[in-house]
């Protein structure tokens, strides 16, 4: 048996974990400013929840779900995205009956059986939000503005936001008919995949990498919007411009999932090659009702943490790291004192790795320097006799004797470094 992480997955370690953590922290603080509350839903849900919400013909449901049957013959899928679970929670707990608006965010792993490639994983991580109960364009705009703030708080300011409206259940069918007529005339020159999509979801043909570029004169949805959808879209654009969001109107942006209505958007990075989408989302006014709840307007997004972590310029400083120290007892008798000093340092916010005795001092010091420690506190026979530790500053190698009880104050007094 070879021991290997499953294809398309990887272990996150070292600096990458630190970046994930920094992103999570940035997002949490922005969500707090916008008053979104965290929701943690299960990592698996009934397979039907996803096929009903994402649509049977979406790529995700057609070919990317990890689905399994449990011993009671129930069929579950590992969640491929976060919205379905949040909407399920909203309906199951009858949250619509509270009235008003409800705002949630989530952070966690998602699973899609995609062909692995750079920036595309089978287990990847998303941060997203869902905002229920607000039908107006301000909610769409504030969602986009909030995402921009998360990106900037994390150190990414180089992005553009593609936007479009895909209408609603009144105007989209008219567009769909017009598009279908246009596509039918060209069906012979289209790929088999596109001809199949024409039957199930013609708007997705525009998404096709092979055929999309050939269809540059296809009708665009903006010409088919009804008055309400048009007004909604215009206000959405104006609010984003007012906020200085770098917009790119893309009338062909349709998004892969069936549940969107009106505003759709995608954040794109110029630095990520083929997998350039950092975040995406839109309005989905029909989804709650589609899943059996009362009709509730909603807007949401998800960002790809893996992508943001790779798009962040290298050298972006990490959130200030705590001061680090290592406490080294030279022999067993010094361990109780070493633990006491370690506890007093941690109580003051200094990071101290668990104390151990027995290894060579030189090795322990070398290891401490490697791990980024700023201080070493040494306790041997002489130190026990004088009740004072040898405190070594690992940056400038200066060493001084400091009374055991004064060690935390000594480190603080020198600015921690
Ligand atoms: P989606 O749910 O497909 O709209 O995806 C939202 C965001 O999640 C995308 O813009 C990507 O940043 C990220 N994402 C989606 N699929 C993957 C994947 N397989 N691997 C890594 N990131 C992904």
Residues sharing a CB contact under 8 Å with residue 300, sequence separation 6 or more, in sequence order: 83, 86, 128, 129, 130, 131, 143, 281, 282, 284
- Closest protein CA for atom 15 of ligand 1: 304
Q: Is 121 in the pocket of ligand 1 (CB under 6 A)?
A: yes
The pLDDT, as a whole number, for residue 357 is: 84
Q: Is 126 in the pocket of ligand 1 (CB under 6 A)?
A: yes
Tell me if 288 sits within 8 A of 90, measured CB to CB.
yes
The pLDDT, as a whole number, for residue 317 is: 60
Residuewise pLDDT in 10s, the chain (417 residues)? 889 999 999 999 988 999 999 999 999 999 999 999 999 999 999 999 999 999 888 889 989 999 999 999 999 999 999 999 999 999 999 999 998 899 999 999 999 999 989 899 999 999 999 999 999 999 999 999 999 999 999 999 999 999 999 999 999 999 999 999 999 999 999 999 899 888 888 888 887 888 888 888 999 999 999 999 999 999 999 999 999 999 999 998 987 666 789 999 999 999 888 888 999 999 999 999 999 999 999 999 999 999 999 998 876 665 556 789 999 999 999 999 999 999 999 999 899 988 888 778 888 889 888 888 999 999 999 999 999 999 999 989 999 999 999 999 999 888 666
The pLDDT, as a whole number, for residue 207 is: 79
Beta bridge partners of 125: 109
24: phi then psi, degrees, rounded to nearest 5: -60, -40
Whole-number Cα distances in Å, 123 to 105, 119, 358: 19, 11, 41
- Closest protein CA for atom 12 of ligand 1: 304
Looking at residue 350, the DSSP 8-state letter turns out to be: -
The pLDDT, as a whole number, for residue 214 is: 87
- Among candidate residues 242, 176, 247, 183, the one with its CA nearest the CA of residue 212: 183
Work out the burial of residue 335: count CB atoms within 10 Å of its CB; fewer than 13 is exposed, 13-18 middle, 19 or more buried. Answer: middle
Looking at residue 100, the DSSP 8-state letter turns out to be: S
Ligand 1 atom closest to residue 120's alpha carbon, by position in its atom list: 20
The pLDDT, as a whole number, for residue 292 is: 96
What is the value of pTM for the model shown?
0.88
Beta bridge partners of 401: 390
Q: Is 52 in the pocket of ligand 1 (CB under 6 A)?
A: no
């Amino acid at each position: 048996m070879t021991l290997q992480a499953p294809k398309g997955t990887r272990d996150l370690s070292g600096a990458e974990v630190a970046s994930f953590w920094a992103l999570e922290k940035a997002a949490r603080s922005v969500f707090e400013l916008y008053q979104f509350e965290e929701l943690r839903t299960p990592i698996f849900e009934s397979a039907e929840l996803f096929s009903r919400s994402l649509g049977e013909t979406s790529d995700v449901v057609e070919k990317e779900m990890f689905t399994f049957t449990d011993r009671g013959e129930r069929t579950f899928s590992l969640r491929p995205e976060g919205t379905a679970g949040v909407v399920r929670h909203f309906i199951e707990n009858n949250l619509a009956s509270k009235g008003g608006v409800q705002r949630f965010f989530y952070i966690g792993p998602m699973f899609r059986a995609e062909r692995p490639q750079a920036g595309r994983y089978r287990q990847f991580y998303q941060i997203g939000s869902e905002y229920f109960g607000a039908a107006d364009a301000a909610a769409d705009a504030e969602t986009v503005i909030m995402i921009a703030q998360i990106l900037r708080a994390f150190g990414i300011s180089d992005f553009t936001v593609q936007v479009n409206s895909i209408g609603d259940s009144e105007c989209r069918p008219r567009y769909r008919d017009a598009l279908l007529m246009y596509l039918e005339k060209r069906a012979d020159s289209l790929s088999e995949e596109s001809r199949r999509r024409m039957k199930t979801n013609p708007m997705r043909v525009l998404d096709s990498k092979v055929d999309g570029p050939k269809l540059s004169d296809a009708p665009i949805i903006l010409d088919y919007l009804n008055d309400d959808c048009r007004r909604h879209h215009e206000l959405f654009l104006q609010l984003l411009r007012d906020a200085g969001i770098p917009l790119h109107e893309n009338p062909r942006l349709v998004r892969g999932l069936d549940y969107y209505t009106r505003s759709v958007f995608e954040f794109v990075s110029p630095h990520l090659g083929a997998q350039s989408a950092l975040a995406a989302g839109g309005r989905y006014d029909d989804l709650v009702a589609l899943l059996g709840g009362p009709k509730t307007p909603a807007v949401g997004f998800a960002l790809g943490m893996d992508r943001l972590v790779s798009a962040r310029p290298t050298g972006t400083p990490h959130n200030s790291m705590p001061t680090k120290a290592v406490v080294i007892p030279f022999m067993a008798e010094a361990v109780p004192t070493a633990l006491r000093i370690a506890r007093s340092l941690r109580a003051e916010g200094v990071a101290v790795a668990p104390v151990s005795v027995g290894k060579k001092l030189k090795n322990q010091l070398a290891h401490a320097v490697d791990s980024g420690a700023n201080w070493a506190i040494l306790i041997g026979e002489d130190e026990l006799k004088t009740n004072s530790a040898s405190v070594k500053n690992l940056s400038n190698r200066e060493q001084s004797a400091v009374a055991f009880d004064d060690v935390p104050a000594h480190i603080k007094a020198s600015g921690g470094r």
